[in-house]
Structure 1
């Protein structure tokens, strides 16, 4: 009986040590193991010159996160053709000066952006186990952030196009790309009708000017299926999204436990293909660069930015 009790204690002690070690790894090591993911997708016309797009998402930046700031700033050395920012930049009520310092290195590089909920509201504590019941719910009262100043920095200082429930054209060395985007679907801030009207206005200009875009791209913070389906229906050939954190805490060999939206679990991060209505688009969902300051842990899901190279289809 004594040996049995001792064995039971040893098992519990072992489990406890593994749990503590896993938590320490996720909080102290992996959460700061910033990774650049390089991917390629063939979506351009045969013979077209490749385009390099840097996808940044879910920084959840706090003023004291100097290592993250320095790593993100260093990405400017990649000299991408375009930057796509899919939201949740702010992770603290006083994070805006730190964000300006971090992203100012990208000044002069064309870009587009949409907002996530943490570009409007400060982070709040949430019971992590509630995520297993479905997408997280917002509290009725939340601390507002200075969203207007954030968007002014993006548009006026960096020159990025605001795609919140809107559409815009970006010209890169004489090559025109058309973008459509929505405000945060997770908070139901999206308006597909407003976005579609803006896209129709761009397409009307095409008829008048007898020009067409080389590519049409959809951008959203949260990859809800209704948003992805609408993008594909409206002709998007590439889609960018974030929000999921790639699951944030994953099981090796199994993957994400939750997605915090209705996207299938096997498409919670990385490059895949989204099909709808007989059409398809390349879909890149970023696992993001941060976490909430109230849940500072990642496991089997390192923080990331993505350099996605758009190349020509085979002739």
Structure 2
């Protein structure tokens, strides 16, 4: 009996090691009449909550998987670094290796704010050509002249305001000069503020922060997430309300809790599909 238990523990340990050190790719299609035809099949790769993790030597496992997806844009939705083992040089190397693959768009997470080095982080990213979105939007244009807006907000930890109030103010600020009928994409680290994004009429939100609930129970979902507590609602997948859809990445790295269970690190590949016919 003890031998059986020992074998089972060993096999489970090997499973956890493999799951925590390999990367899965989740493919998501977003179909909407609001997506301009010029952005049909536009591919976004979302990287979230990297937390100074390494996947292969010099992060080549991660870099090569992103390259193989041939993205039109790469979004980093916060917590590129980890405040507990802060290694900016290591995390920037991912960006450095991918900077000519596709345009980068980035927003802060709570860990960047916690380092008290956030301005330096932003400067280093800007020097690598990254579009650092700080409560603002950029309007991008397709080869056919169609336009859509990509906006991003700072993590609420950067303010003394109530989180809900802060997100309301910053989303409004980010899109204040964007035409109402333009397709709007928001990068925001915090998925628990989905009601704000819906209320503001944001078409597509990409978020992270929840780490997939850290431990996932098959058929139930994540167990615990910051800002949401036990058995949180927003830890993974696509959430839809009215005309808004939010994609929540399970992220790539870990922070205080070093182990994921039934919760493989993930890259999300989003393909926009115009439904204007």
Per the normalisation by structure 2, the TM-score is 0.82
- Determine the C-alpha separation between the residues in 1 that align with 2:157 and 2:25: 26
1:289 aligns with 2:252: yes
1:311 positional shift = 0.2
Find the residue that maps to 2:226 and give its secondary structure. coil
Q: Is the 8 A contact 2:50 2:253 kept in 1?
A: yes
Q: In the alignment, which of 42, 48, 54 is matched to residue 51 of structure 1?
A: 42
How many Å separate the matches in 2 of 1:240 and 1:304? 14
Which of 246, 266, 273 pairs up with 2:212?
246
State the match for 1:258 in structure 2: 224
> Contact 1:161–1:168 at 8 Å: present in 2 too?
no
Where does structure 2 lack aligned partners over 5 or more consecutive residues? none
Number of the residue aligned with 1:37: 26
> Residue deviations 1:78-119, cap 9 Å, x none?
221112211111135442111221111332422322111122
Deviation at 1:233, TM superposition (A): 2.2
Aligned to 1:301: 263
Indicate whether 1:72 and 2:65 are aligned: no
> Cα–Cα, structure 1 residues 175 and 81, in superposed 2: closer, same or farther, change >3 Å?
farther
Answer yes or no: is the 8 Å Cα contact 1:185–1:221 preserved in 2: no
Does structure 2 conserve the Cα–Cα contact (< 8 Å) formed by 1:104 and 1:158? no
1:112 matched residue in structure 2: 105
Mark the CA change 1:45 to 1:31 in structure 2 (over 3 Å): closer, same or farther.
same
Instruction: Say which SS state the counterpart of residue 120 (structure 1) adopts.
Output: helix
CA RMSD of aligned residues (A): 2.9
Q: Which has the larger radius of gyration?
A: 1
Offset of 1:17 from its aligned partner? 6.4
Q: How many residues align?
A: 265
Aligned match for 1:182, one of 153, 174, 177: 153
Partner residue in 1 for 2:73: 82
Tell me the CA shift for residue 53 of structure 1. 0.7
Aligned to 1:131: none
1:168, 1:180 within 8 Å by CA — same for their partners in 2?
yes
1:189-226 CA-partner distances (Å, limit 9, x unpaired): 763324413422x23xx59xxxx63x1112211112xx
